[in-house]
Structure 1
Amino acid sequence: MAGISGAEQGATARARELALRGPRGVNPQVGAVVLSPDGRVLAEGWHRGAGTPHAEVDALSRLTPAEARGATAVVTLEPCNHTGRTGPCAVALLDAGVARVVYAAADPGDASSGGAQRLAAAGVEVVRADEAEGAALIADWLFVQRTGRPRVTVKWAQSLDGRAAAADGSSRWITGPEARAHVHRERSAHDAIAVGTGTVLADDPQLTARIEGEPDAPQPIPVVFGERGVPGSAALHRHPRGFRTAGHELERELFALAAAGIQTLYVEGGPTLASAFIRAGLADRLTVYLAPTLLGGPRTALDDLGVGTIDEQRRLTVTRLEQLGRDLLVEATTESEQ
């Protein structure tokens, strides 16, 4: 990285590690490292959630005024320039007498951006680090800022002839243990997991991420779409994070989920819900497990997508192909991600 010292490169990598200690939610995950003029680490900090000190302020709070004066602050996100629940980080850095600021991703907010410019105007040396790595750290949060909704992954498993179940409705198991283990990792990697009420009534799913050897794996919040109620005996009532209910107006419900701090949603609710998200143009990524088996019959993996002619087909970009035991994993993105 041009203009960045070795100590600052190391601090940038460390700041990204620190950022991941913070929770995912309405605010981005941000980490900060403060270096002395000779490159020694003086303090570290990260953002612990809405209403708590931002990463820069958290790190500065661990220093004396003499230690902070003339130091370099290395941050994963451009210092903010507005007053919300907390004051502007750019001002905090100026008040502390920091001489140099190295940051990665630019702040995309209309109100909160401009911190780098403010610092530079006040005489602080401001340097941009690797923007791509900084943006990758908060890619899902940036997606929410751009669209107002979580990034949506729609998942399904199907036979080679496109069926999700046999003619009698039975579907356990189309895929093998390797594919099913991969699904649990995908669940854990998302903030929330969505099913329809039909799936809850028919299958009584747990919707937990069960990963061998990882009893403390992150758990997605279940979201049940539909108008019918969830029975009191349903397994969802025993989910470690409880569950949310949502109606049929998908876009409005997605906006509400984003406002609640959900950045990614894993749709695992059967053909009706999967098709609804795709039909509405709200599916950003597709994860499909192809099993080398034939079922025939009417139980197709997707319902009507609103495609009347070949010119209306929904073209995808395949981003990954992988063999999982006997099954094939296909990952693709839709036009919203291209």
Structure 2
Amino acid sequence: MASSEAEREAMTRALALALNGPRGLNPQVGAVILSAAGEVIAEGWHRGSGTPHAEVDALSKLSPGQTRGATAVVTLEPCNHTGRTGPCSQALIDAGVSRVIYALDDPGRASGGGAERMRAAGLDVESGEQQDAARALIADWLTVQQLGRPHVTVKWAQSLDGRAAASDGTSQWITGPAARADVHRRRAASDAIVVGTGTVLADDPSLTARDGDELYEHQPIPVVIGARPTPAAASVRRHPREPLFYDTRDLTAVLDDLRERGVQRVFVEGGPTLASAFIAAGLADTVLAYLAPVLLGGGRLALTDIGVDTIADARRLTVDEWLPLGDDLLAVARPSVLKERS
């Protein structure tokens, strides 16, 4: 049975409601409840981990008699597991809802399967309504579910001969203003910005995302990885967000902890050693290489050892975009074969 005009409008509204919820460990989800006559009688959205899911939030605003024979329109398949809250699929069944329309299947092994549960209970269940819009809404969260960790972007700036700094260690600025502005826009779109202690000690970066002299409204969490202590007067300690420090070389453990904190997009910007470590570990999902038309020579390479001993082991990339930025050029690339973590 195809969705009615009222149901399509309800999905559009549910997608807008979902944006009220926070990005993080859980997906942004919206829900609208329609009466048997197709009128909106309740709305809801998920307000974060541990709070009622969107469907239950909407149902809570109705009496039992109002939900009998109603239609629930939800941006994500109602869940089928008990975590900090109960299964939404069962809540809809218990409420007496007769029809459920949702946009996307839940990809979780534990949480998915709500549609089957509801169909088995006799509900009319339809999927796919505005699925492209729903996928775009929670694309970062879906990526985390696929990879089992946050999406990692590794960025560096280099001369045409592959150097990240001059022989004396100076690197500001290899690229021009347009490239640097692009970096800050991408920082602002990330949840966390990661550097090594070497970068903190050498450059004392603030790790903020700036639009000219002003801070972007959204600031990534600053993350410092390495055994050496960060000085008390370091600029990163004055960041608008509380910085995180990891005294470890276990990058997978760092990403796991960041995921538990709700981080979905990680922006690695801190030095050749750290960038090379992420790439060598197979943890770079996107590479941003800013190429400046300068020659530096010397040994300060943009990357160090990434585990390639012979050309047959070269880490092949697919370039998705070549983006001119003033006099500079940005290559946006990804590994030719992305390996999902089992």
Aligned equivalents of 1:69, 1:289: Cα separation in 2: 58
Q: State yes or no: 1:53 paired with 2:52.
A: yes
The 5-angstrom pairing of residues 180-199 of structure 1 reads 180-199=180-199
Query: What is residue 42 of structure 2 aligned with on the other side?
Result: 43
**Greater Cα offset, 93-102 or 44-53:** 93-102
Aligned equivalents of 1:206, 1:65: Cα separation in 2: 54
Q: What is the RMSD of the two structures over their aligned residues, measured on CA atoms? A: 2.1
1:31, 1:76 within 8 Å by CA — same for their partners in 2?
yes
Q: TM-score, normalised by structure 1?
A: 0.93
Deviations 1:110-158 (A, max 9, x none): 3222211111112211001244443343333233333332111101111
Aligned equivalents of 2:21, 2:215: Cα separation in 1: 20
Q: State yes or no: 1:261 paired with 2:262.
A: yes
Deviation of 1:212 after TM superposition, in Å, equals 5.2
Query: What is residue 320 of structure 1 aligned with on the other side?
Result: 321
Aligned equivalents of 1:137, 1:215: Cα separation in 2: 25
Structure 1: segments with no counterpart, 5+ residues: none
Deviation of 1:80 after TM superposition, in Å, equals 0.8
Which amino acid is 1:327 matched to? D
Instruction: Say which SS state the counterpart of residue 268 (structure 1) adopts.
Output: strand
Gap change, CA 1:55 and 1:216, over 3 Å in 2: farther
Query: What is residue 168 of structure 1 aligned with on the other side?
Result: 168
Q: State yes or no: 1:336 paired with 2:338.
A: yes
1:190, 1:265 within 8 Å by CA — same for their partners in 2?
yes
Deviation of 1:271 after TM superposition, in Å, equals 0.7
Query: What is residue 154 of structure 1 aligned with on the other side?
Result: 154
**Greater Cα offset, 328-337 or 98-107:** 328-337
Aligned equivalents of 1:311, 1:102: Cα separation in 2: 50
Gap change, CA 1:217 and 1:98, over 3 Å in 2: same
2:115, 2:125 within 8 Å by CA — same for their partners in 1?
yes
**Greater Cα offset, 72-81 or 288-297:** 288-297
Aligned equivalents of 2:6, 2:293: Cα separation in 1: 52
Which amino acid is 1:211 matched to? D
Aligned equivalents of 2:13, 2:305: Cα separation in 1: 48
1:211, 1:217 within 8 Å by CA — same for their partners in 2?
no
Which amino acid is 1:134 matched to? A
Deviation of 1:30 after TM superposition, in Å, equals 1.4
Instruction: Say which SS state the counterpart of residue 9 (structure 1) adopts.
Output: helix
Query: What is residue 18 of structure 2 aligned with on the other side?
Result: 19
Which amino acid is 2:82 matched to? T
Aligned equivalents of 1:39, 1:324: Cα separation in 2: 51
Aligned equivalents of 1:60, 1:110: Cα separation in 2: 25
**Greater Cα offset, 28-37 or 154-163:** 28-37
Q: State yes or no: 1:138 paired with 2:138.
A: yes
Query: What is residue 306 of structure 2 aligned with on the other side?
Result: 305
Query: What is residue 285 of structure 1 aligned with on the other side?
Result: 286
Query: What is residue 201 of structure 1 aligned with on the other side?
Result: 201
Instruction: Say which SS state the counterpart of residue 179 (structure 2) adopts.
Output: helix
Query: What is residue 3 of structure 1 aligned with on the other side?
Result: 2
Query: What is residue 107 of structure 1 aligned with on the other side?
Result: 106
Gap change, CA 1:73 and 1:203, over 3 Å in 2: same
Deviations 1:159-188 (A, max 9, x none): 222221122211111222222111111111
Deviation of 1:77 after TM superposition, in Å, equals 1.1
Which amino acid is 1:209 matched to? A
Query: What is residue 218 of structure 1 aligned with on the other side?
Result: 218
Gap change, CA 1:212 and 1:319, over 3 Å in 2: same
Deviation of 1:254 after TM superposition, in Å, equals 1.5
Instruction: Say which SS state the counterpart of residue 33 (structure 2) adopts.
Output: strand
**Greater Cα offset, 18-27 or 218-227:** 18-27
Deviation of 1:104 after TM superposition, in Å, equals 1.7
1:284, 1:337 within 8 Å by CA — same for their partners in 2?
no
Query: What is residue 238 of structure 1 aligned with on the other side?
Result: 238
Gap change, CA 1:229 and 1:220, over 3 Å in 2: same
**Greater Cα offset, 43-52 or 127-136:** 127-136
1:178, 1:325 within 8 Å by CA — same for their partners in 2?
yes
Deviation of 1:322 after TM superposition, in Å, equals 1.7
2:72, 2:101 within 8 Å by CA — same for their partners in 1?
yes
**Greater Cα offset, 133-142 or 151-160:** 133-142
Which amino acid is 1:273 matched to? L
% identical aligned pairs = 63
Gap change, CA 1:305 and 1:219, over 3 Å in 2: same
Deviation of 1:215 after TM superposition, in Å, equals 5.0
How many residues align? The count is: 337
Aligned equivalents of 1:19, 1:212: Cα separation in 2: 31
Deviations 1:80-112 (A, max 9, x none): 112211111112212222221111221222322
Aligned equivalents of 1:59, 1:212: Cα separation in 2: 42
Query: What is residue 96 of structure 1 aligned with on the other side?
Result: 95
Deviation of 1:12 after TM superposition, in Å, equals 2.3
